[in-house]
Amino acid sequence: MDPIVDLDFIDSRMPEEAAACDTTHITQETQTGKSRKLYIESYGCAMNFSDSEIVSSIMFENGFDTTSDIAQADLVFLNTCSIREKAEQTVRNRLGQINYFKKKKPEMMVGVLGCMAERLKKSLLEEEKIVDLVVGPDAYRDLPNLINEVDGGQKAVNVLLSREETYADINPIRLNSNGVSAFISIMRGCDNMCSFCVVPFTRGRERSRDAHSIVREAEALVAQGYKEVTLLGQNVDSYKWASEDGTESVNFAQLLEKVALVSPDLRVRFSTSHPKDITDEVLYTMKKYDNICKYIHLPAQSGNTRVLELMNRTYDREWYINRVDAIRAILGDDCGISSDMIAGFCTETEEEHQDTLSLMDYVQYDYSYMFFYSERPGTLAARKLEDDIPLEVKKRRLDEIITKQRETSLNRNKRDVGKVHKVLVENFSKKSKEQLSGRNDQNKVVIFDKKHYKKGDYVNVLVHDCSVGTLFGQAID
């Protein structure tokens, strides 16, 4: 999917280099002589990609190598997103395509995992006859048993949510890895009941992973040569772990410090921050350690207090501005800030839409993920609010948000021209093998000539030009 032309989801950066916008990850090859092969596609957020690495590890321990060729697969998993209607329709379309392969190989098993599986449960088996098993995000340990049921000729379902499951003891198999950057899931679920969101219903209540297991995973990644980790959670700022005996507790700022101390050469990122929970303690911890990237994804969703209240975001416009002011005061104007914005939420007026645009002017986001409102069954908004904004109005408001963000992104990038940025090389540029691509501290993509540099190097790059979504420069020794 090209996110620039998808009116259901827009990222202000150019799609060619906007890695965070990927909607699908496909299994890479592992060949260790296992008797069966797994093919897995992941849709949606980074948490889904991380979960697919956990699933692959579980399946590897139970007799499955992975393949990048669906025609060779004995088992096909689609790890799904349910955040918008279009995300679910994409999966349904893909199931139709997979049916072609299953007709040629009738013994092939097809499973739907993740949020769509949790939302639709057993009805998915009835609606999509090709599907053999349906498994929610907290039931992946049960996959071997479920596959045995399907081997025995039965359909299989497990969508039980858990208050304890964090998969802390499972060592993920890094899928589609560049060998440089990796995800570490630090918590699961969400206790925020935003009225537009299905996540609390599809991923369950919030629970934090053992801090020691997170640090051990970071240490293992450093030992394998990784240079960057991203700590993942629906709301990382509310991370709170306590030992069973009550002698130790760790909040998010303390966890950040523990991971930063694993190695000074390990870059640390995190996502996502909730405006109601991000504290000055977190910001001062970021300031203290050079290897904690100075970038914060801080979704606003709207710039109007009444709309925020309808969204049940539990903060108002003034609170959000206070948090942005704190970021700028503690971390400086160069700290990268990105956002999510929803156009055309229930009952939103033109004046309230203008408040969103004025908030964007105030904050000066580096980039944003921008949507028009899509009602999701089962959410608080679907039950209590009328989706009363005409589609053409939603699209027009979204277009105004996109236009403003692209202007702001370009202006923010122009500030970086003439400056030297420390870039971690992640891969070749998609346009040329003679150029390398990496990200700077503020999560911006930087392209420069390869010379003698390679993937995994830290390179100082003097930026000489920019586009809306990318910085261009020259490496300096």
Residues annotated within a binding site for [4Fe-4S] cluster? 45, 81, 115, 190, 194, 197
Can you tell me the distance from the alpha carbon of 30 to that of 68, in angstroms, rounded to the nearest whole number?
9
| Alpha-carbon span 315 to 290, nearest angstrom | 30
User: From CA 262, how far away is CA 216, in angstroms rounded?
Assistant: 9
Cβ 443 vs Cβ 467: under 8 Å: no
Both tokens of 379, joined, read: 């959410």
CA distance 254 to 384: 39
Cα 230 to Cα 3: distance, rounded to the nearest angstrom: 22
Beta strands in 291-335 (DSSP E): 295-297
C-alpha closest to that of 189 among 242, 131, 118, 246:
118
Token readout for 293 is 């990237």
Please state the residue numbers annotated as binding site: 45, 81, 115, 190, 194, 197
Asked if residues 25 and 209 have their Cβ atoms less than 8 Å apart, the reply is: no
Q: What are phi and psi of 342, to 5 degrees?
A: -115, 125
SS3 407: helix
| 20, 56 contact by CB (below 8 A) | no
Strands 207-208 and 228-232: unpaired
Residue 145 CA to residue 152 CA, distance in Å, equals: 11
Which class for 172: exposed (0-12), middle (13-18), buried (19 or more C-beta within 10 A)? buried
In 272-418, DSSP assigns E strands to 295-297, 336-343, 367-372
The one-letter amino acid code at 368 reads S
DSSP state, residue 305: H
Q: How many helices (H) and strands (E) does the chain have?
A: 14, 23
Single-letter code of the amino acid located at 111 = G
Task: Give yes or no for a cis peptide into 66 (omega within 30° of 0).
Answer: no
Q: Which amino acid is at 40?
A: I
The answer to whether 185 and 50 are in contact (CB under 8 A) is yes
Q: What is the rounded CA–CA span in Å between residue 222 and residue 265? A: 9
